[in-house]
Structure 1
């Protein structure tokens, strides 16, 4: 992942409601969940949940699956795994062990 992809994805994850939505979707036994199901669990207005779902969709963290007259959502585990790998690399690259290497490269 490029830095701008990491930043955009992290922004999408930067709200507690969106983190809760991901948890709800990830724990569904059938692997998908509709907006109404999420709304019931969070006790928020459907319009609020929809706005948060749109942010997650735009970031590629979930996928929409039409089911009749409803849309259901599925967590994109590969996208989350890529973010985890990229974030781990970023954190390791910023850690104290990386500082001597950076100094040697600058010399």
Structure 2
């Protein structure tokens, strides 16, 4: 079985403290905005939710189309956006692709929005 290739995660926590602690620099604000934009779509939020809620937290690409009510090319586009932003990884098994959340990727975003 091939090993999943992990993509580099854009660690937004490395760039910035929680936004309630200090003003963000322009560069840090751009980095955070790119990550938030990747999540700021109902279909992409549902994809993240589907993956996170799945029993083994891994979902075949074939299992997104029906619950999302979207065509396969549209699903693939949303998956690519989430992968490019560092929220998902993909492993290939035969002709199917399986998606997982990158460990800590959602925690990094949540940490930026804390008030502590």
Give the TM-score range, shorter chain. Answer: 0.7 to 0.9
Give the root-mean-square deviation of aligned CA atoms: 1.5
1:30 to partner: Cα distance: 2.0
The match for 2:48 is 22
TM-score norm. by structure 2 comes to 0.71
1:87 to partner: Cα distance: 2.4
2:63 is aligned with 1:63: no
1:62 to partner: Cα distance: 0.6
The match for 2:107 is 81
For residues 45 and 87 of structure 1, the distance between their equivalents in structure 2, rounded to whole angstroms, comes to 33
Q: Which has the higher contact order (CA 8 A, sep 6+)?
A: 2
Unaligned ranges ≥5, structure 1: 94-107
Unaligned ranges ≥5, structure 2: 1-11, 16-27
1:36 to partner: Cα distance: 1.2
For residues 43 and 36 of structure 1, the distance between their equivalents in structure 2, rounded to whole angstroms, comes to 12
2:9 is aligned with 1:12: no
For residues 18 and 46 of structure 1, the distance between their equivalents in structure 2, rounded to whole angstroms, comes to 14
TM-score norm. by structure 1 comes to 0.77
1:21 to partner: Cα distance: 0.6
The match for 1:53 is 79
Counting helix residues as a fraction of each chain, which structure ranks higher?
A: 1
For residues 5 and 66 of structure 1, the distance between their equivalents in structure 2, rounded to whole angstroms, comes to 29
